[in-house]
Amino acid sequence: MSSAQPVVDASRSAQGTRIDLDGVSRRYRVGDVTVTALEQVDLHVDEAAFVVILGPSGSGKTTLLNLIGALDVASEGRVRVAGQDITAASSTGRARLRRHTVSFIFQSFNLFPGLTALENVQFGADVAGRADAREVAAETLAQVGLAGRENHFAHQLSGGEQQRVAIARALATGNPVLLADEPTGELDFRTGVAILELLQQQAAAGMTVLVVTHNREIARVADRVIELSSGHIVGDGPPAGGRAPVSELHW
Amino acid sequence: MAIRGLLLRWTLRDLRGRWVLVAAIALVLALGTGTYAALLGSSDWRRVSNDRSFELLLMHDVRVTLSEGLTADAGALAAVLGRIPQAGQVEAVEERLVVPTLVSVPGRDVLVPGRIVGMPVDATVDRLHVSSGRGFAQGDPAVVLERTFADYYELPDAGTLEVAGGRTVSYSGHGQVPEYFAIAGGSGGSFTTEAGFAVVFAPLATAQQLAGAPGQVNEVVLRLAPGADVGATATAVEEELAAEELAGTAVVKADEIVYRTLYEDIEGDEQFWRIIAGLLLAGAAFATFNLTTRVVEAQRREIGIGMALGLPRWRMAVRPLALGVQIAVLGVLLGVGVGVITGRLFGGLFRTLLPLPVWVQAFPYDTYLQAAALGFVLPLLGVAWPTWRAVRVEPVEAIRVGHLAAKGSRLTPLLRRVSLPGRSYHQMPLRNVVRTPRRTALTALGIGAAIATLVAVFGILDSFTSTLDDFDAETTRSAPDRVTVQFADVLPEASPQVAAVTGADEVGESATTLVLEATARSDGAVVPLVLSVRDIDGGLWQPSISGGEPADTATGIVLSEVAARDLGVAPGDRIMLEHPQRTAQGATQVTTPIVVAGTHPGPIRAVSYLDRSQADAFGAAGLVNSVEATPADGVSRDELTRALFDVPGVASVQAATALTDSFRGALDAFTGILGIAAAITLLLALLIAFNATSIATDERAREHATMFAFGLPRRVVVAMGMTENAVIGFLGTVIGVVLGFLLTRYTVEVQLHRTLPEFGMPATVSLGTVVVALAVGVGAVALTPLLTVRRLGHMDIPATLRVVE
């Protein structure tokens, strides 16, 4: 895998990558029952950091990621991303934020089966409105180590390759905040490590990268670990024992 | 036992979750089967209604009409019948006097050509059925108006009206006689409408007095004993009349244009309905296959999990097969409903268009049973195939993530090499179309079948309209405002009656013609003709000559292209022409060989022309029975018509375009029937498109959620769906238009020509019809994703993104 330099759009990085959540709660109604996914969460993430949100299943970590990514709306509290208050933003406003500020990587890749690897990546650049979308896509795909696989469809790629295409798609948007939901969840150890390395490089290059995982081992390579349990933040700080290099990971 | 209960609960839960989809697919199927049952079932009740109506009024077995202008003393024709060999088989005979006339519609400034039918007050053949008011009474001269004419002009049950020659008559009611269940009053027996042809049923004495022919008759109708040889009787009557120098033409019941057409129309319609119903059913079947296949495929992972847990394959097949049963049951029930509603609409239209004395609309159980069987089997077949495929996949394959994602077809790589314009998401609709060719093909075929039906239905109307437009253009290419004046009798050209017309102040230019009924024969083929003896190179109007040399037209007959085709002749060939010839005592029927000099493109088969220079050979030199006249300067055509109406001896005055005008009127009525079929096809196309879109929205939920996660606006996602639908709709429309044109050709040039050989027309599909097809097949189909806007708006994006197929 080549050393990937992010293709952050300079005009977008200028708007900042800071994330602020103040007193944020998220509740759902399931029939007659109200389920609290997050309760009074306060969180502030400085710019250009590699942050891991850690917690067991049902702790609210994905809900937190969705609120930051403007896919979901808080029941109470305030959410600001890159200087924009999205607490009461309209669906159009939230879509605009997703288009120009944040980008996603999913556990199950969610690639478009009808598009080639290159076109999937180009999709990210296109949606973000980048003028040189195809060139950016080709460059980004090469950066994640998939040069020569441009014309392959999703089903012709391995799981690790599909996830790298998904990362390239997110990077090709040029958006400064990268949100990854269990990005290594469906990958083997070796491929998972490679993916983490790639994400770490993005943070090093100036992006804010938030990775949601239940894998405590992954937290070792983060700049900061936020631990969730039952919708509350129960821990926030650097990894215990200091940040480890990716090469030391094993699970 | 417990697993059966679980599967049943699961199936019911499936139904609760997708009842809208099940209902929509069932409705698609119901439109196909219901229309199939209603259309084909109409033949049974139409046939029964015809039988009972003709029998009720004791329709004749043979009708014999004397040649144009000939009459005989009352009793003479009945006496002739007593001398034929089959006289013992004649059960009832009635003499009539039938003369052309012109009727002034009471309360309106409208003159309508028509016919006075003088008949016995208490006829035993061709009885009068009174629909309102009262009928004939002994000693009462009051007449009865033909029902549809009276209804069209909303005439009261009783009153007075004026007929040609300025005579006023009283009428006492509205009624029908079998020959006039449909109005066949145009030249060559062509059909016209109640608005354009007035039939006045009169006691014989009244008719004789109105025609100025006291004690005269010119027609005889008879009923024969069961088993009698009708054809031989007709021939014998003709021969006996000819011997008396009373040339006449005998027509047997089966050849009566109204009788023949009412039955052949059912057969012709049945063929046409079979095509339409078959197409609708095919459309519904394609749609059902497409939709059920996709619903079942969505369950393949669950089927795989079940099998992985050790459940037998057949048990896992229960759920998808239950879907087929649900659709089948609901489809059959809805199909009966659609059939009954469509049948009632059809019944109502037929009662209006063809108000027979007896209408019996029985429920056609057999046809409905057939349709129900089809409706039940189709969805079961639709789910059987994908279920079979699903249970044959190894469980490990079925439960693998990504197994169900469309992997692209062999066509997909082709698009990879094609540089498409626009951003990647602009290209996705086309890529989606190509990567799922089976899905695309089934949806396009479903839409194509519906569009083909639409095009075939409108194509028939187009063919009529185009033919009439051409005929109008031909008729009006010179002296467009001319009128045709018909005399009640054949007259010498120098007679005072003719001079009264040609010399009238309101007449500008004029030309005389002689119109004869004749019969052309060639190699066993027989075609009845209306022969116009005229100046082919002069006069006010000359026919276009499409075949042969114009210079030869003075040496032979000019036939319509349709007549030439039916006779199997071309210009230069010789035919035998059977025609009346005047004698000192009256007229006799003679046969003259004649060369076909040319052909004309007119659509009415019977219309033929003979140059006046050949009239002598036909014993018709110096005789006329018609004048074409243009209005004098400053006189309108209506003023000319009104002025000539009052001239003694004039039977009718009509505009040159009267024939096409009446056909256009008939077409409007026809449009009503075809409109129902068109509405059903429209509904079917939209339902197919909506169902396909709805399922596509479910199938692509994760793709849509991913797009939303990347910030793609909802309108763009909807527009992508619209584009994809437009592409599939376009493919379907192209298939539909081509198939529809072929069906139009078959229906118009084969089926319709068999039913109505008197009228020949080429099949035409107009640009307007293609535009309508595109509007429905592409426009309306493309708009259906708009119905998913709300659903997309309420999508739970995070939940959808995490759903593992």
Chain B nearest-CA distance from A150, in A, is: 11
Write the CB contacts of B272 (distance below 8 Å, at least 6 apart in sequence): B747, B751
Among A36-40, B70-74, B470-474, B681-685, whose mean pLDDT is lowest? B681-685
Q: Which helix (H) or strand (E) holds B728?
A: helix B714-745
**pLDDT of A6 over the 50 cut:** no
Tokens found for residue B488: 């009640």
Q: How far apart are CA A73 and CA A88, in angstroms?
A: 8
- What are the two backbone dihedrals, phi and then psi, of residue B164, each rounded to the nearest 5 degrees? -50, 145
- Cα–Cα distance between B198 and B655 in angstroms, integer? 16
From chain A, the residues in CB contact with B721 under 8 A are: none
pLDDT for the residue B403: 45
Give residue ranges of A with CB < 8 Å to any B CB. 62-63, 66, 69, 71-72, 91-92, 95-100, 103-104, 106-108, 110, 112-116, 119-120, 122-124, 126-128, 133, 151, 153-155, 173, 186
Answer whether residue B377 shows pLDDT above 70: yes
List pLDDT tens digits, range A51-70.
999 999 889 998 999 999 99
Q: Please tell me what DSSP assigns to residue A210.
A: E
- Are B407 and A97 a contacting pair at CB < 8 A? no
Domain extent for A176: 10-18+45-74+91-248
Is pLDDT above 50 for B191? Answer: no
Test the B interface: residue of A115, A116, A157 with most B CBs within 10 Å: A115
Task: With CB atoms and an 8 Å threshold, state whether B427 touches A95.
Answer: no
In this structure, the number of other CB atoms found within 10 A of the CB of residue A171 comes to 31
Q: Looking at the 3D structure of chain A, how many domains does it have?
A: 1
Query: Hunting for tokens 């509290």 — which residue is that?
Result: A77
Tokens of B158: 């009783």
Q: How many CB atoms lie within 10 A of CB B85?
A: 11
Residue range B251-298, pLDDT digits in tens: 999 988 888 888 887 887 787 777 777 777 777 777 777 777 777 777
Say yes or no for a CB contact (<8 Å) between B707 and A127.
yes
Give me the pLDDT at residue A210, please: 94
pLDDT band for position B662 (50/70/90)? low
pLDDT of A27 over the 90 cut: yes
Chain B residue numbers with beta carbons less than 8 Å from the beta carbon of A110 are: 702-703, 705-706, 709, 801
Contact residues, chain A, for B428 at CB < 8 Å: 112, 114-115
Among residues B307, B320, B323, the alpha carbon closest in space to that of B399 is found at B307
- Has residue A230 been placed in a domain? yes
Kindly report the backbone phi and psi dihedral angles of residue B568, in degrees, each rounded to the nearest multiple of 5, phi listed first. 70, 35
Question: Does residue B189 surpass a pLDDT of 50?
Answer: no
Instruction: Scan residues 421-450 of B and list those with Cβ closer than 8 Å to A.
Output: 423-425, 427-428, 431-432, 435
User: Does the pLDDT of residue A39 top 90, yes or no?
Assistant: yes
- Would you call A104 and B709 a contact, using CB atoms and an 8 Å cutoff? yes
Using 50, 70 and 90 to split pLDDT, how confident is the model at A74? very high
What DSSP character marks residue B371? Answer: H
- B802 in contact with A, Cβ within 8 Å: yes
Residue among A62, A124, A155 minimizing CB distance to B710: A124
Burial class (CB in 10 A: 0-12, 13-18, 19+), A120: buried
Q: CA-to-CA distance for B617 and B37, rounded, in angstroms?
A: 58
Question: What tens digit of pLDDT does each residue of A146-169 get?
Answer: 889 998 888 889 888 998 899 999
Q: Do B802 and A62 touch (CB under 8 A)?
A: yes
In the DSSP assignment, the letter for residue A194 is H
Tell me the nearest-neighbour CA distance from B444 into chain A, angstroms: 20
- Which residue in B241, B210, B224 sits closest to B118, CA to CA? B210
Scanning the structure block, which residue is given the tokens 């609309």? B361
- Model confidence over B445-454: pLDDT tens digits? 888 888 888 8
Residue A145, Ramachandran bin (φ over 0: left; ψ between -120 and 50: alpha; else beta)? left
Q: Which residues of B touch A176 (CB under 8 A)?
A: none
Lookup result for tokens 């959808």? B800
Q: What is the mean pLDDT of residues B133-138?
A: 91
How many angstroms separate the CA of residue A29 from the nearest CA in chain B? 13
In a domain, A29, yes or no: no
Using the CB atoms, write b or e for B419-454: b if 16+ within 10 Å.
eeeebbbebbbbbbbbbbeebbbbbbbbbbbbbbbb
pLDDT, tens only, B503-513: 999 999 999 99
Q: Which residue has the higher pLDDT, B313 or B76?
A: B76
| Confidence band, pLDDT 50/70/90 cuts, at residue B585 | low
pLDDT of residue B406: 46
pLDDT at residue B52, as a whole number: 94
Taking 70 as the threshold, does the pLDDT of residue B405 lie above it? no
Confidence (pLDDT) at B187: 42
Inter-CA distances, B491 with B297, B488, B512, Å: 83, 9, 11
Token digits of residue B250: 């005998």
The verdict on B705 touching A (C-beta cutoff 8 Å) is yes
Residue A91 or B619, more confident: A91
What pLDDT score does A1 carry? 44
Show which of residues 618-657 on chain B sit within 8 Å of chain A, judged by CB atoms: none
Element (H, E) at A41: strand A33-45
Query: Are A154 and B708 a contacting pair at CB < 8 A?
Result: no
Say yes or no: B720 contacts chain A, CB-CB below 8 A. Answer: no
Q: Which residues in chain A are contacts of B709 at CB distance < 8 A?
A: 69, 71, 98, 104, 106, 110
Chain A residues inside the 8 Å CB shell of B427: 119
Q: What is the DSSP letter of B256?
A: -
Nearest-angstrom CA–CA distance, B441 and B435: 11
> pLDDT tens for residues B60-110?
999 999 987 788 999 999 999 888 999 999 999 999 999 888 888 877 766
* Residues A113-134, mean pLDDT to the nearest whole number: 89
Sort strands A232-237 and A224-229 into parallel, antiparallel or unpaired.
Answer: antiparallel
> Which chain B residue is nearest to residue A120, measuring alpha carbons?
B424
Q: Each residue of B213-250: pLDDT tens digit?
A: 899 999 999 999 999 999 999 999 989 988 888 888 89
Mean pLDDT throughout B583-606?
84
pLDDT over 70 (residue B193):
no
Burial status of residue B519 (CB atoms within 10 A of its CB: 0-12, 13-18, 19 or more): middle
* Residues above pLDDT 70, as percent of chain B: 92
**Nearest by Cα to B431 from A151, A110, A109, A112:** A112
Q: Which residues of B touch A126 (CB under 8 A)?
A: 423-425
Q: Which of A151, A157, A159, A201 is nearest to A182 (CA)?
A: A159
Per-residue model confidence as pLDDT tens digits over B407-431: 555 566 666 666 677 788 888 888 8
Within 8 A of A72 by CB-CB distance, chain B residues are 797-798
Q: Which of B740, B724, B728, B746 is nearest to B773 (CA)?
A: B740
Q: Is residue A244 part of a domain?
A: yes
Please tell me the distance from the alpha carbon of residue A128 to that of residue A98, in angstroms, as a whole number.
Answer: 9
- What pLDDT sits at residue B203? 96
Q: Of B644, B607, B612, which Cα lies nearest the Cα of B533?
A: B612
pLDDT score, position A2? 44
Residue B570 at interface with chain A, using a CB cutoff of 8 Å? no
Task: List the Cα angle B258/B263/B268 in 5-degree steps.
Answer: 110
CA distances from B506 to B113, B497, B768 (A): 20, 15, 42
- The helix (H) or strand (E) run that includes residue B411 is none
Mean pLDDT for the stretch of residues A4-12: 49
In a domain, A1, yes or no: no
Q: Which of A64, A65, A71 has the most B C-beta neighbours within 10 Å, making it the best mutation to test the interface with B? A: A71
CATH of the domain at A132: 3.40.50.300
Asked if residue A82 belongs to a domain, the reply is: no
Q: What are the distances in angstroms from CA B142 to CA B136, B651, B803?
A: 7, 20, 85
Say which residue the tokens 């896509």 belong to.
A137
Bigger pLDDT: B195 or B346?
A: B346
Of all residues in chain A, the one with the smallest CA distance to B430 is A114
Sequence letter at residue B192: T
Distance of CA B353 to the CA centre of its chain: 12
* Domain annotation covers residue A34: no
Distance from CA of B788 to the nearest CA of A (A): 17
379-408 of B, contacting A, C-beta below 8 A: 401-402, 405-408
Is residue B345 within 8 A of residue B675, CB to CB? The reply is no
Q: Return the beta strands (E) in B426-474 as ranges.
A: none
Question: What's this model's pTM, rounded to 2 decimal places?
Answer: 0.70
Q: Kindly state whether residue A4 falls inside one of the protein's structural domains.
A: no
Q: Over the range A102-114, which residues count as b (16 or more CB within 10 Å of their CB) and which as e?
A: bbbbbbbbbbbbb
Q: What is the mean pLDDT of chain B?
A: 84
pLDDT score of B631 more than 80? yes
Residue B409: closest C-alpha in chain A = A114
Distance (Å) of CA A205 to CA A122, A148, A195, B489? 21, 25, 16, 108
CB contact under 8 A, B798 and A98: no
What ipTM, to 2 d.p.? 0.81
Asked if the Cβ–Cβ distance from B798 to A71 is below 8 Å, we say: yes
Instruction: Tell me which chain B residue has its CA closest to the CA of residue A99.
Output: B711
Rounded CA gap, B53 and B297, in Å? 56
Q: Which helix (H) or strand (E) holds B95?
A: strand B90-104
* B565 interface with A at CB cutoff 8 Å: no
Q: How far is CA B736 from CA B432, B574, B676, B730, B758, in A?
A: 22, 44, 19, 9, 30
pLDDT digits (tens, 9 = 90+) for B453-463: 889 888 988 98
B477-486, B635-644, B673-682, range with the lowest pLDDT: B673-682
Do the Cβ atoms of B177 and B128 come closer than 8 Å? yes
Please indicate, yes or no, if residue A105 is contained in any of the structural domains: yes
